[in-house]
């Protein structure tokens, strides 16, 4: 039986057997203090210790986000957002799935950052589950972080208060969670020197930003970026510099009628969330935008920004200069996403070769599952997590076989940096001699993509940091 109690730095925690009773799950472990009241828009503070044994049986609140997030309906809605969970600023908790029998087992660890474009999502979406990894002797951790106006509001008053810039609170939450795992995962049977950081969509971008941040040095040994990381600039025009992100914060305060930071901190979470949703629906005009060809307007969303501290400069410039970790990387995209993510991954792989580093593993998911019109964004979730049964899609035997293979490959990468396994088609890394990626289709095979001249131009633009941000 996997261990059911563990001693963390703030106290004992107790979990429960998972659906697979060889695995234990600890839900809702606090990795930081609740960022409420005077801690709103501040770097995360340590969690308070507790007496006795904390029962970690239930998932915690999800971060503040639109109340409509779970109203998607249909197959897509049921695959990811299925419940109207309690929203709260008090959301800095993580979940651990472990198969370890003792704290001395020293198993590899995956830390997963959820997606949602930094405006939605949570650490226990319907598609997520750590059991597929745990049954392969990998500990799996999902983490939460502040979103939107709570996680990424920058403002001159906030920057002056902290002395460390402003607007990167959600990224600092991610850092705090990874640091907590580094310090505490041995209590759950994990190896703190064998951590893989992983995520999809916004979570892949988070993994990218963690790689770009000098504050993450030594925290993880491998990285997986699915459909959103790689060689990509920050999400938004407003996040490209401290000055722009702080200007957006000032505009938001003016829109809300706040005359000071103290007044904004005194507002309710619901007031801020509702006000932000209305504000983000109004395109803002700026003459400088016309110079980069976007028609002079863009929607004012709060997303990760170059704050001068967590991200000292553009992530692309950090990567071009080789200031990111020299570790194992696995990146991929889906066919239905179009070219942007695939191009970003190719630019990443090319940059690693230019730096003389070990080659990356790339994939491109082209298989169209039952009931789908394309290999859409997020299509790989249920396969790599082995959660096909949670979807309404009429999956067949092939789908379950593919899911088993991909979960095995992802777990193998977390263990040793190589996603190959016995009985699987060879997955070669992207090298100068073989610029290829694994095509995930009815048959898995290596293939060199025939890029158009326009796609080649975009790869080189990214490689030269000539694209300042990714249009939302």
The whole-angstrom separation of Cα 286 and Cα 284 is 7
Query: What pLDDT is attached to residue 471?
Result: 52
Q: How far is CA 361 from CA 89, 126, 376, in A?
A: 37, 27, 21
Query: What pLDDT is attached to residue 285?
Result: 65
Percent pLDDT > 70 in the chain is 94
> Can you read off the two tokens belonging to residue 62?
């999800």
Domain holding 420: CATH number?
3.40.50.1820
* 471 in a structural domain: no
Whether the per-residue pLDDT at 472 is higher than 50: the answer is no
* 388 in a structural domain: yes
Query: What pLDDT is attached to residue 68?
Result: 58
> Between 125 and 285, where is the model more confident?
125
> Between 257 and 291, where is the model more confident?
257
Q: How many domains does the chain have?
A: 1
* 448 in a structural domain: yes
Query: What pLDDT is attached to residue 72?
Result: 46
Whether the per-residue pLDDT at 139 is higher than 60: the answer is yes
Mean pLDDT, residues 151-164 taken together: 98
Which pLDDT tens digit goes with each residue over 307-343?
A: 999 999 999 999 999 999 999 999 999 999 988 899 9
Mean pLDDT, residues 358-365 taken together: 97
Reported confidence tier of residue 353, pLDDT bands at 50, 70, 90? very high
Q: How far is CA 383 from CA 157, 176, 182, 244, 411, in A?
A: 45, 29, 28, 40, 13
> Between 76 and 133, where is the model more confident?
133
Mean pLDDT, residues 420-439 taken together: 96
pTM over 0.85: yes
Report which of 130, 182, 172, 121 is spatially closest to residue 151, judged by C-alpha positions.
172
Mean pLDDT, residues 258-272 taken together: 98
Mean pLDDT, residues 357-376 taken together: 96
292 CB-near residues (< 8 Å, 6+ apart): 237, 468
* 142 in a structural domain: yes
* 149 in a structural domain: yes
Reported confidence tier of residue 291, pLDDT bands at 50, 70, 90? very low
Whether the per-residue pLDDT at 76 is higher than 50: the answer is no
> Can you read off the two tokens belonging to residue 47?
């969690």
Query: What pLDDT is attached to residue 297?
Result: 58
Reported confidence tier of residue 75, pLDDT bands at 50, 70, 90? very low
Which structural domain range is residue 217 located in?
A: 5-236+306-463
Query: What pLDDT is attached to residue 461?
Result: 84
* 71 in a structural domain: yes
Percent pLDDT > 90 in the chain is 83
Query: What pLDDT is attached to residue 287?
Result: 52
């Amino acid at each position: 039986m996997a261990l059911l109690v563990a001693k963390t730095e703030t106290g004992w925690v107790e979990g429960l057997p998972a659906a697979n009773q060889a695995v234990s799950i600890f839900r809702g472990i606090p990795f930081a203090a609740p960022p409420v009241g005077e801690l709103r828009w501040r770097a995360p503070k340590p969690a308070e210790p507790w007496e006795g044994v904390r029962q970690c049986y239930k998932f915690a609140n999800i971060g503040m986000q639109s109340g409509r997030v779970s109203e998607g309906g249909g197959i897509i809605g049921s695959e990811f957002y299925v419940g109207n969970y309690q929203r709260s600023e008090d959301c800095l908790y993580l979940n651990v799935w472990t198969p370890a029998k003792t704290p001395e087992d020293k198993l590899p660890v995956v830390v997963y950052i959820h997606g949602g474009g930094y405006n939605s999502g949570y650490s226990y979406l319907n598609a997520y589950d750590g059991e597929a990894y745990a049954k392969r002797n990998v500990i799996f951790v999902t983490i939460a972080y502040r979103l939107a106006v709570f996680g990424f509001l920058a403002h001159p008053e906030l920057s002056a208060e902290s002395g460390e810039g402003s607007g990167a609170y959600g990224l600092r939450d991610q850092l705090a969670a990874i640091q907590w795992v580094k310090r505490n995962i041995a209590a759950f049977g994990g190896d703190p020197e064998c951590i893989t950081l992983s995520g999809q969509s916004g979570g892949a971008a988070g993994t990218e930003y963690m790689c770009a941040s000098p504050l993450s040095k030594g925290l993880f040994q491998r990285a997986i970026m699915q459909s959103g990381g790689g060689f990509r600039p920050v999400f938004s025009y407003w996040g490209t510099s401290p000055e722009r992100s702080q200007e957006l914060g000032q505009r938001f305060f003016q829109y809300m009628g706040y005359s000071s930071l103290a007044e904004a901190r005194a507002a309710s979470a619901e007031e801020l969330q509702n006000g932000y949703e209305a504000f983000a629906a109004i395109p803002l005009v700026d003459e400088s935008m016309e110079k980069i060809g976007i028609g002079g307007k863009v929607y004012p969303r709060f997303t990760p920004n170059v704050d001068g501290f967590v991200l000292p400069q553009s992530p692309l410039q950090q990567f071009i200069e080789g200031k990111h970790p020299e570790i194992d990387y696995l990146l991929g995209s889906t066919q239905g996403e179009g070219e942007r993510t695939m191009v970003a991954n190719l630019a990443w792989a090319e940059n690693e070769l230019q730096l003389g580093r070990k080659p990356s593993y790339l994939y491109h998911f082209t298989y169209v599952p039952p009931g789908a019109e394309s290999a859409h964004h997020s299509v790989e979730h249920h396969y790599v997590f082995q959660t096909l049964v949670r979807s309404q899609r009429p999956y067949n035997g092939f789908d379950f076989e593919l899911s088993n293979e991909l979960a095995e490959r992802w777990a193998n990468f977390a263990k040793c940096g190589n996603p190959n396994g016995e009985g699987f088609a060879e997955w070669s890394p992207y090298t100068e001699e073989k610029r290829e990626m694994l095509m995930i289709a009815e048959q898995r095979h290596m293939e060199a993509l025939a890029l158009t001249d326009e796609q080649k131009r975009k790869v080189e633009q990214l490689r030269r940091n000539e694209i300042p941000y990714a249009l939302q």
